[in-house]
Amino acid sequence: MTTDQIENDLSLIKNMEFVRYVLIGEDTLDLQLVAEDGSVDAGGEYDDDECELNGSLYTIRFHGMRNLQIEGDEADTYKLAGFEQVGLSLVIRYEGMNFFESNTDLSISFGFSSYEVIAHGHIKGADV
């Protein structure tokens, strides 16, 4: 997955591992995501035998953010539960899994005026 591909198709977020979100001021939101290494099957899903969070780290920075709604709490790891994009609005839902606490879901919805994709290079997840 490349920066250009993500810039041209935000739905690629569905194929990336969510790391965290960061609010910057009142109208900017960063989503940090990892495009995993490994083989992709015909449905666009990554091979489950690969370690999660091995891949390329990206920040998708949304400018002109409005109507932000965050429900739930941050967790240790996430699994995508839903993704909806209508024009310049996103709703992303995750099932959050915690190692030592109760699991919690996270929902992030917002509108935006523009976005940019920032590539941070390759990372390797811990071998557990």
Describe the strand order of the beta sheet including 28-36 as a list of residue ranges: 17-24, 28-36, 55-63, 114-123
DSSP conformation letters of 30-75: EEEEEEE-S-B-TTSPBPTTSPTT-EEEEEEEEES-EEEEEEE---
SS3 117: strand
Q: Specify the pTM.
A: 0.80
Tell which wins on pLDDT, 31 or 55: 31
Whether the pLDDT of residue 25 is over 50: the answer is: yes
What is residue 43's predicted lDDT score, i.e. its pLDDT? 47
pLDDT digits (tens, 9 = 90+) for 7-18: 788 888 888 889
Question: For residue 83, what are the β-bridge partners?
Answer: 92
Q: Which two tokens stand for residue 107?
A: 């929902």
What is residue 75's predicted lDDT score, i.e. its pLDDT? 92
What is residue 82's predicted lDDT score, i.e. its pLDDT? 94
SS3 77: strand
Tell which wins on pLDDT, 97 or 40: 97
pLDDT digits (tens, 9 = 90+) for 55-76: 889 999 999 999 999 999 899 9
Structural contact between residues 56 and 122, judged by C-beta atoms closer than 8 angstroms: yes
Whether the pLDDT of residue 97 is over 50: the answer is: yes
Tell which wins on pLDDT, 54 or 73: 73
Section 103-114 average pLDDT: 95
Burial class (CB in 10 A: 0-12, 13-18, 19+), 10: middle
* Amino acid, res. 78: Y
Task: Quote the CA–CA distance of 128 and 123 in Å, as a whole number.
Answer: 15
